[in-house]
Structure 1
Amino acid sequence: MLQGVAIRLKCGTEVHLAKPTRHCHCIEKAHNSGLDSRCGGENQGFYDDKGNYLNRKEAMIYIKEQGVSLLPMSCGRINKSPYLFSEDVW
C-alpha cells in the first residue's frame, strides 16, 4: 500500500513524507534542510510500505493492482491519466 509522497532531488536524495502530505511538503522539507530542493515533475512520486520509490506512472499501476479507487476531483471527475497525484488517493 502507498504510504506517502516522495521526491527525488537532483543530488539523488529521496525525501519521503507520510500521507496525507503533498509533494510541495517534500520540497519544503528539503529546502528547510538546506538541500537543493529542485526537482522536476518526473521526480515526484510515492513510496510503498517497503520504502520503494514509485514514480507517478508506476504508482498509478501499483494502486490499480491493489484495487484502490481514485477519489474524484473537486469538479467530480476521476483522473483518467496514467499519472497518479496525491489528490487522487488522499
Structure 2
Amino acid sequence: MPDWKTCASSIFLQHKKIESSFYFLESESGDIRGVCKNSINLPLCSRCCHLLPEESQLSNAHTQGAACRKHFQYALQNLERLTL
C-alpha cells in the first residue's frame, strides 16, 4: 500500500485540482494538514468545511486543502478499495 503522504496527495490533487505546490503533514492531534505557500491560512477540512482543532494548527503554515482525520481516513479506505 502507498504511504499516507502519497495517498493524500493523490486524492486531493484529483478531487480539488490543486495547481500549486502542495504537501501534507500530520499534526500531533492526528489531523492531516495540506500546506501550500500560495493559500490563505484557513484551518478547515476541505471535505466538510469543519474548523480543525486549534491544537492542530501549524505555526506559520497555510492550510487550504487540509482534511480532518475522518475524511482523510475515508479517502484512504476508498483508495485501498480501488487498488485491490
The TM-score bracket by the shorter chain reads 0.3 to 0.5
The structure whose Rg is larger is 1
How does the TM-score come out when normalised to structure 2? Answer: 0.32
How does the TM-score come out when normalised to structure 1? Answer: 0.31
Higher helix proportion: 2
Higher strand proportion: 1
